[in-house]
Amino acid sequence: MIQRTIVALCVSTVTCLLGLGTEARGTEPKGQNPSAEDPSGFVITFESIPERIRRNNPDLAAVRLKVKEANGWKVQAGRWSNPAIELGLSGSGGFRERTTEVGIVQSVPLTGRLGLETEISNLRTEVASAEIADLERHFVAEAQAALVDVLAIRQQRELRRQQAELSNQFADFVGKVAARGELSPIDAGQARLEAIRLASEVRQLRADEIAATGRLKPLLGMDPFESVNILGELLPAELPSHLIEPERRSGYQAAALEAESASIGVRLERARRFDDIEAGIAVALDRAEDAPEGLESEVSLGFRVSLPLPFWNRNQGGIQVAEARAERKRRELEALAHNIRHEAETARREMVEWNELLLNISSELLPLADKQAADAERAYREGLGDLQAVLRAREQQLQLGASRIDALRNFHHARVRFVAAVAKP
């Protein structure tokens, strides 16, 4: 009797210290479930994430200003320089005899420099748009990975909740039998302690879910206290059918446009070997004294051209820099295609391995663990086994169930990386 009382006191003390009175019965405290649906909250699914990020992500909204910047350069590119007015005054004898000149001068490109500048500015706008699309792809993949974590944590919580309920039922049975003196009261305390342990894991997983949801909200442009409803569950593993084509990825498209721009930049720097010529017209008014008639005025019209001679500067340094940049961009494009293929192929192989592990756990290991746990409990209830065998069997059952959820989560993580590597969001 004294031993039974001591065990009961120990169990009660552990329950109070952990604050798990309700969890130990397989339930959760009211008002503390962050996964509970709020009718006023925003509904989040895998399908809704891309559009939500596109409309509400603050970082994406800031980066979109790059397009406006590029459009500004586009408007400015290809314009001629402004013409200049020239004024001249010369004279002698106290300017009694003088010449007054008024002219207008315009710089005229000798090469196709302005057209090349326009082409580069047009490409700059396309590059900015592709970079924004690539950043959006990155945010979508990050948000979907966080959503996978939330859904996986919920499944882990549900698994432990079910195990805690079974442990409570088993602990109730052991306690009743121990009260009749047919089993050791130590077994009753051990069974109850196992239920409390599982309930504590449920609480830990609630904290993990809050952290995962906290990673998701900023990506969706949500306020910290805004309600959110995360719907759905992790779908069964299914290998995607996307082809590994680097050209589909927006980041590759941006790099390809930059390589094209760099190639045009070489032609632009070569065109800059020759400075602009200057052409102008001038009107001159001459006032000269012609004895004995006196001062006479004469108007003349002139045309002039200034042609620079490329003796000292033929823009050799600029051409060399442009050629090196074009080569660098070309190799970066090749490297990016190489990395995309490796990234996608690695993710695909991961999916294959996780899928095989899922099939093995679901079709072979879990059924064996379920049978072993049922047999061990039946034997204990009939007095043919011990408590430790029941607890070990249930622990194996729990570990395999958790491993199956982890494998499914890792499969979907790899799937998110694969889709993000080969396709637009």
User: Residue 35 has what pLDDT?
Assistant: 43
pLDDT at 18: 34
Name the class of domain 2-422: mainly alpha
What are the tens digits of pLDDT across the range 71-100?
888 888 888 889 999 888 887 766 677 888
Are 269 and 275 within 8 A, CB to CB?
no
Lowest mean pLDDT among 98-102, 119-123, 316-320: 98-102
Residue 49 has pLDDT above 70, yes or no: yes
pLDDT per residue over 385-407, tens digit each? 777 788 788 888 888 999 999 99
Residue 293 has pLDDT above 80, yes or no: no
* Overall size of the chain counted in residues: 425
The CB-based long-range contact list for 346-350 (8 Å cut-off, 24+ gap) reads: 347/414, 347/415, 347/417, 347/418, 347/421, 348/239, 348/244, 348/414, 348/418, 350/410, 350/411, 350/414
> Confidence band (pLDDT; 50, 70, 90) for 328?
very high
Residue 224 corresponds to which amino acid?
A: P
* Cβ atoms of 373 and 393 closer than 8 Å: yes
Non-local (6+) Cβ contacts of 135 within 8 A are: 59, 60, 63
- Residue 228's H or E segment, with its range, is strand 228-230
Enter the tokens of residue 278.
């200057």
Query: What average pLDDT score do residues 283-309 get?
Result: 79
Per-residue H/E/C for 295-339: EEEEEEEEEEEECCCCCCCCCHHHHHHHHHHHHHHHHHHHHHHHH
Cα separation, 319 vs 267, whole angstroms: 8
What is the share, in percent, of the chain residues with pLDDT greater than 70? 86
Nearest to 258 by CA among 328, 183, 349: 328
Is pLDDT of 36 > 60?
A: no
- Note the pLDDT tens digit of each residue in 128-160: 999 999 999 999 999 999 999 999 999 998 888
* Highest mean pLDDT, choosing among 36-45, 142-151, 155-164, 165-174: 142-151
Q: 290 pairs with which residues across the strands?
A: 294
What distance in Å separates the CA atoms of residue 114 and residue 108, rounded to the nearest whole number? Answer: 10
Per-residue three-class SS string for 71-131: HHHHHHCCCCCCCEEEEEEEEECCCCEEEEEEEEEEEECCCCHHHHHHHHHHHHHHHHHHH
pLDDT, residue 8, reads 42
Please state, in angstroms and rounded to a whole number, the distance separating the CA atoms of residues 184 and 386.
11
The arithmetic mean of pLDDT across residues 218-246, rounded, is 84
